[in-house]
Chains A and B, each alone.
Chain A
Amino acid sequence: MKLLQLYEDVCVLPDQDLVQENANVDGKSPLGKLARLSSEVSKELSQTYLMSERSKQAVSENYLYVHDADYYITGSTTCCQIPLGQLLKYGFHTGHGTIRSPKDIRSAMALASIILQANQNMQHGGQAFPMFDVDLAPYVEKTYERQLSRLQSLPVDWDDAQLEQLAEEETISATYQACEAFIHNANSMHSRGGGQVPFVSINYGTDTSKWGRILIRELLRATERGLGNGETPIFPIQIFKVKEGINFHEDDPNVDLFREACRVTGKRLFPNFSFIDAPFNASYYDGMHESEVAYMGCRTRVMGNRHGEETSIGRGNLSFSTLNLVKMALVSESLTDFYRILNRYIDIGIEQLVERFDYQCTRRAEEFRFLYTQGVWRGSEQLHMQDEVRDVLKQGTLSLGFIGLAETLKVLTGSTHAESREAERIGLDIVTHLANRMRVAAEAHDLNFSLLATPAEGLSGKFVTRDQEEFGMIEGVTNRAFYTNSFHVPVYQSVSIREKVRIEAPYHALCDAGHISYVEVDGSLAHNAEAVESIVRLMRQHDIGYGSINHPVDRCGNCGLEGLIDAACPTCGEDEDIERIRRITGYLVGTMDRWNTAKREEERARVKHDAHSIRR
């Protein structure tokens, strides 16, 4: 490695793109730089000692990208849906003493933060709670009981109804404070390598119990309220689980909370919405909360399982790698030739995932203490400290992803899937082929192979930069600073909301390792919960699995006005201190300073639906 180059890139004159691969880290901070240096060295180590020649070549030729390669050498896995209820019920151990089961909602939610922090450093991806409402409802109830007995002990003459009402009010207020503290924690604990807040996601919305409903309502209230100065919380990523019969139809018990979720997302961009009734999710649903699909915020989904129960809980992705479909199209002579090349790199991608899996399997439980000794990962209770983790790792998924379907179709057919029916058909063919290859690989290796609609933050610019060097600027293909994410309709193409949802929906069924569709609207949704609800209902109608609505959330740092602010605040005229919250690959980012060039350009290119309304 060229140490001098590294020194100059990271320490002397930091280049925005080099230090800002990840929008969640402040690359200019001391620990950001340290992380950057160690990641370069560890990448070099894994390339030198762990990866096969074939994998390395596919990477160096820009066909394949190995995600989180800097963590490769540690043998860590990507993410996990943490069984919060179980950890809280039985208590846990973080390495410096035992933590008992909590007695009320405030301590339960404080412990939830600690669990995220503890597990974050065991893995390299996101951390999620799969059924936040169900897991926390018992502690809301405990809080109520505590309040009730405290009030009863007071020398005041209340009747039962008064007592119950007072205890409930106290409980609601305690729950609100607990939610507020949890959200603040999620945005302030820089616990990964000292430089990053954990990528935290929470799934909820289906608990119809009195206590679960209080939790959901107060969580939404705290989210709407925002941080200390009313800022939009960047974390946790919130995912509201939509389920017919529970929160979707007029007489469903939680429909009020669904509406509330629509209203809050109009202000705060969260929650996103997942759909338990989409056929590929419904097929796992048996009426129990444990069988509800849970997503990681960015899009990762883990359901199918060859080695145990088919649930999201206690499981996650092991590693994922992404294919550069655009380059394959650029070097192919015909569609048939494209499939030949694609097959070659699918083979290599599968090999590479297995190669990394084999290395991950040689790690021992003691290397990831919290993950494997506290019952976080499914089946880990059977492991001893010195045991290799092979047997329990099989519960996780190995995922191959893809990027740039739109640009690929442009090369192969002359138009993207939003421009012609033929391209739309070929796009579905290609992704169906990928999905089928994953199924065959799962059989052949007896592992949970799955197809991922890659979230591509740093990658969207990396692939295209290298392809520009090789192929030059090709109109509609390489002439932008980014390739379009996975199967998405390009942000620069103007299609109606209906068309976008219709075109993208079938890919949700194919990409079983994770998928998300975004709808962009211009203009604030703060006053239009009905519009949010219409879009969510449209998504449900088209069998979308996981969806989210992007709209500008600007906030004047001077007077606090929220909404869409052009150059200057229309109320007070402030033109510098404007906070602009935008979403990148599923994560909200509070200031565009932390965006890399590709993502900045992508944001500029986004066609907002309804871009030209006169009244704002």
Chain B
Amino acid sequence: MRILSVVEESVVDGPGIRTVIFTAGCPHRCKGCHNPSSWNPAGGEEVEVEELVQRIKVSGWDGVTVSGGEPFLQSSALAELVMACKSLGKNVWVYTGYTLEQLEAMHDEAVQTVLDYADVLVDGRFEQSLRDMGLRFRGSSNQRIIFLNKV
């Protein structure tokens, strides 16, 4: 998996303390993006999913967030990562610039696996005109926090 960085203990990418994996490459190129260096799909470095899982194990906190970049650019690796995290009993959040509807319309098996296994999807592009600092775990008000596993 091509990743930009791993933050071991984040408090701003979902509830609790979470290990955050920032994937490299993003097609959305939202105006006002906090991190344009994540756009390049050849940026960052190639890391085995297995190694990421190992780091998540070591960190020991309950939550994992996959952010980016656009995580769904690498949907097979993402699916593998999400499933591995779920088998460790982690609570998994995935950020994406796509909307849930767009993802579902892709009819891609790996994408569907992510949606089946991840706990929460934070979806939608960052819209600078809708930017709101008071929002919990989101940058702009069009973005949604969607609980995928209702149970």
Contacts and interface: CB of A to CB of B under 8 A. Distances in A.
Interface stretch (A325-333, A469-477, A524-532): A524-532
A615 B13 contact: yes
B140 to A, nearest CB: 11
Contact of A616 (B9, B34, B59, B95): B34
B11 interface: yes
B34 A614 contact: yes
A282 B136 CA distance: 38
Given A496-B8, A496-B9, A523-B10, A614 B22 contact: yes
B149 interface: no
Contacts of A524: 12
A535 B95 CA distance: 24
A428 interface: no
Interface of A: 496-498, 521-525, 527-528, 530-531, 533-535, 551, 561, 563, 570-571, 609-610, 612-616
B106 interface: no
Contacts of A522: 11
B92 interface: no
Interface string B9-49: 11111011100101000000000001100100000000000
B137 A613 contact: no
B11 to A, nearest CB: 4
Contact of A610 (B8, B34, B136): B8
Contacts of B137: 527, 615
Main secondary structure of the interface of B (DSSP, over half): loop
Interface string B75-103: 00000000000000000000100000000
Interface string B52-89: 00000001111000010000000000000000000000
A55 to B, nearest CB: 45
12 contacts: A496-B9, A498-B59, A523-B11, A531-B15, A535-B17, A571-B133, A610-B9, A610-B12, A613-B12, A614-B34, A615-B137, A616-B12
B142 interface: no
A531 B17 contact: yes
B16 A561 contact: no
Contacts, number: 68
A613 B59 contact: no
B62 A534 contact: yes
Contacts of A612: 5, 7
Contacts of B22: 614
Given A570-B133, A613-B20, A615-B34, 17 more contacts: A496-B59, A498-B59, A498-B60, A523-B10, A524-B12, A525-B11, A534-B62, A561-B134, A563-B133, A609-B9, A610-B7, A610-B8, A610-B10, A610-B11, A614-B34, A615-B67, A616-B34
Interface in B123-151: 133-134, 136-137, 139
A104 to B, nearest CB: 37
A238 B26 CA distance: 45
A519 to B, nearest CB: 9
Contacts of A551: 11
Most chain B CB neighbours (cut-off 10 Å) among A522, A535, A609, A615: A615
B17 A497 contact: yes
A533 B62 CA distance: 12
Given A570-B133, A614-B67, A523 B12 contact: yes
Given A496-B59, A614-B22, A531 B38 contact: no
A570 B135 CA distance: 13
A612 B34 CA distance: 12
Contact of B13 (A534, A609, A613): A613
B123 to A, nearest CB: 14
Contact of B16 (A498, A530, A570, A616): A530
Contact of B11 (A498, A528, A614): A528
A538 to B, nearest CB: 9
A525 B17 CA distance: 10
Among A522, A525, A531, A614, chain B packs the most CB atoms within 10 A around the CB of: A614
Contact of A528 (B12, B95, B134): B12
A531 B16 contact: yes
Contacts of B12: 523-524, 528, 610, 613, 615-616
Contact of A521 (B5, B11, B20, B61): B11
A527 B136 contact: yes
A413 B111 CA distance: 52
Contacts of A614: 22, 34-35, 38, 67
A184 B34 CA distance: 39
Given A528-B12, A528-B16, A563-B133, A534 B61 contact: yes
Contacts of B16: 528, 530-531, 533-534
Given A523-B10, A528-B15, A613-B10, A561 B133 contact: yes
Nearest to A565: B133
Closest 10 CB pairs of A and B: A523-B12, A530-B16, A530-B15, A527-B136, A531-B11, A614-B35, A610-B10, A613-B10, A531-B17, A609-B9
